[in-house]
Amino acid sequence: MNVFFRIGDKFSDKLYCPRLIHFTYIHTYIYIYINIVLQALTLQTVSSLIKKEKSGPSIMLKNYIAKQVTSDELRTLITCSGRFVLHSVSKDPYDNLALEDYLFRHTPLPESTSATSVKNNRLFLYINNPCCVIGRNQLLWREVNVSRAIAQGIPLVRRLSGGGAVVHDWGNINYAHVTTRDGFTRTEFTTKLVRWLVERDPTTLYSRLQATDRGDITLDGTHKLGGSAFKIGARGRAYHHGTLLVDSQLDQIKGLLQSSQGIPGVTWTGSGVDSVRAHVTNLPGSHSVTSIWETITMGFQRDFAGSANNHVPPNSSSHISQHVPVYSCNASKLQIAEVQETAQKLRSADWVHGGGPPFSVHFGPPQTMPERNVAVRHGIICATDIVGLALGTPFAEFCRTSRAVHGLGVDSL
Ligand SMILES: *[C@@H]1O[C@H](CO)[C@@H](O)[C@H](O)[C@H]1NC(C)=O
Ligand SMILES: *[C@@H]1O[C@H](CO)[C@@H](O)[C@H](O)[C@H]1NC(C)=O
Ligand SMILES: *[C@@H]1O[C@H](CO)[C@@H](O)[C@H](O)[C@H]1NC(C)=O
């Protein structure tokens, strides 16, 4: 506002005092310039603070440009043949997982199944806001300290793929490698990822990083840097997605996942998948999330370009180019109905609390004496010997009130 008033002043000066015009203009411009610089600086400081505190790091790419695509362009890209890297700027875990699923479902299969046919390898990269993520076949309460997560405002997410529980934050990079079922191995992607990381920083990482048979990445064979989950589709597609801890708040992570001893006096039974517990650690050395993000992107571009290791016949009629382009989108803004529907499903209590196989819980001392049992199907209590606990009560609700209403030894599960 100030700036505009000044301009007006000087213009009226000009009318009365022509000799001063030149001098006045210089003053005006300097004034405007200083104001603009000051405002820009203030805005930048404020916005970087907000970014740090509210939305996590933004990835500022230095070495290449990621072309922003619209929903329509993205739909076309995904459903046509071709290899590419896709970045999501959204940090919403449900939206990112929904887009990942869409990418998995709509990546076309190669036209022929011969050894030389073209595979449509795609890499999707994203960072989530802090959240707890469990595998689709897990018992939420056995894996996560749900009451703590709720108290800290940390969303609970059930993946569409199998595997164990993990905590994400802004120091963690999520990747998904979408490819074909044919020739898929659990170690292909992590083996490459380890090589890209070691090539980047051999002094710190050479011979310390390993890709394990389960698709994990370990440091010195003792600590885990990243875990993996897989989805092998019935219709010929497969994906491998995983996490890479670069600069995570590891203390937070520990408190949100249940320890292997679990809760004293509480025994879970059912076919739910147990997480394999491991000591976790960040990537050693001083690496920013952005720079590792770039390393992964460029490694993928290199290894999956037209010539190397990608089954593109030398004389291919396919349209796959030698170059692997990089695109970016905001998974939370897409106007793609299927992505929106999946995100809505992933957010629903039916899926988060009610997903996974049926289970039962046994409460013994120090929780309660005599012992008590609760059986749960689709997140709803279907049998119990706890007096006054109605069948049909959501298990989540029972957990919130376990001490207050049912006299168990824990406030909440
Ligand atoms: C879960 O978190 C709550 C709240 O922070 C805490 O009181 C409780 O002891 C935790 N439960 C377990 C089993 O660690
Ligand atoms: C591709 O192969 C066909 C026959 O196999 C040949 O006639 C054609 O010239 C080749 N094209 C190129 C670009 O090499
Ligand atoms: C992505 O879209 C969401 C929803 O419109 C918005 O809140 C968020 O700020 C966007 N993220 C970026 C980095 O533009």
| Three-class DSSP labels, the chain | CHHHHHHHHHHHHHHHCHHHHHHHHHHHHHHHHHHHHHHHHHHHHHHHHHHHHHHCCCCCCCCCCCEECCHHHHHHHHHCCCCEEEEECCCCHHHHHHHHHHHHHHCCCCCCCCCCCCCCCEEEEECCCCEEEECCCCCHHHHECHHHHHHCCCCEEECCCCCCCEEECCCEEEEEEEEECCCCCCCHHHHHHHHHHHHHCHHHHCCCEEECCCCCEEECCCEEEECEEEEECCCCEEEEEEEEECCCCHHHHHHHECCCCCCCCEEEEECCCCCCCCEECCCCCCCCHHHHHHHHHHHHHHHCCCCCCCCCCCCCCCCCCCCCCEEEECCCCCCCHHHHHHHHHHHCHHHHCCCCCCEEEEECCCCCCCCEEEEEECCEEEEECCCCCCCCCEHHHHHHCCCCCCCCCCCCC
pLDDT per residue over 231-264, tens digit each? Answer: 887 678 888 999 999 999 988 777 899 887 788 8
Tokens 């079922």 belong to which residue?
Answer: 181
pTM: 0.80
- Which of 95, 61, 65 lies closest to 289, judged by CA? 61
pLDDT of 63: 65
Of all residues in the chain, the percent with pLDDT exceeding 70 is 76
What is the C-alpha to C-alpha distance for residues 88 and 69, in angstroms, rounded to an integer?
Answer: 11
The region of weakest confidence among 32-46, 47-61, 133-147, 187-201 is 32-46
Burial (Cβ within 10 Å: 0-12, 13-18, ≥19) of residue 249: middle
pLDDT of 294: 94
Band of pLDDT at residue 310, cut at 50, 70 and 90: very low
pLDDT of 412: 53
Contact 279, 254 (CB under 8 A): no
- Mean per-residue pLDDT, 120-136: 94
Mutation to probe ligand 3, out of 68, 330, 336 (largest number of atoms < 8 A from CB):
330
Ligand 3 site residues, Cβ closer than 6 angstroms? 89-90, 330, 332-333
Residue 290 has pLDDT above 70, yes or no: yes
Contact 356, 136 (CB under 8 A): yes
Burial (Cβ within 10 Å: 0-12, 13-18, ≥19) of residue 358: middle
Separation of CA 248 and ligand 3 centre (Å): 22
- Which of 189, 177, 180 lies closest to 311, judged by CA? 180
Band of pLDDT at residue 227, cut at 50, 70 and 90: confident
**Which residues in 32-61 are b (16+ Cβ under 10 Å) and which e?**
beeeeeeeeeeeeeeeeeeeeeeebbebee
What is the C-alpha to C-alpha distance for residues 386 and 376, in angstroms, rounded to an integer?
Answer: 13
Mutation to probe ligand 1, out of 143, 145, 259, 403 (largest number of atoms < 8 A from CB):
145
pLDDT of 410: 55
Mutation to probe ligand 1, out of 144, 148, 261, 263 (largest number of atoms < 8 A from CB):
148
Q: Which ligand 3 atom minimizes the distance to the CA of 89? A: 13
Higher pLDDT, 190 or 311: 190
Separation of CA 209 and ligand 3 centre (Å): 35
pLDDT of 64: 67
**Ligand 1 atom 6: residue of nearest CA:** 148
Residue 167 has pLDDT above 70, yes or no: yes
Mutation to probe ligand 3, out of 88, 89, 328 (largest number of atoms < 8 A from CB):
89
Residue 311 has pLDDT above 60, yes or no: no
Separation of CA 317 and ligand 2 centre (Å): 9
Residue 305 has pLDDT above 90, yes or no: no
pLDDT of 1: 32
Query: What are the tokens at 115?
Result: 């050894």
**Ligand 3 atom 7: residue of nearest CA:** 332
**Ligand 3 atom 10: residue of nearest CA:** 90
pLDDT of 308: 35
Separation of CA 408 and ligand 1 centre (Å): 14
What is the number of the ligand closest to the CA of 99? Answer: 3
pLDDT per residue over 93-114, tens digit each? Answer: 999 999 999 999 998 887 655 5
Residue 209 has pLDDT above 70, yes or no: yes
- Mean per-residue pLDDT, 377-389: 92
Band of pLDDT at residue 399, cut at 50, 70 and 90: confident
What is the number of the ligand closest to the CA of 154? Answer: 1
pLDDT of 245: 96
Residue 118 has pLDDT above 80, yes or no: no
Ligand 1 site residues, Cβ closer than 6 angstroms? 145, 147-148, 258, 263
**Ligand 3 atom 13: residue of nearest CA:** 89
Higher pLDDT, 306 or 390: 390
**Ligand 3 atom 3: residue of nearest CA:** 332
Separation of CA 56 and ligand 1 centre (Å): 26
Residue 314 has pLDDT above 60, yes or no: no
Query: What are the tokens at 95?
Result: 């939206």
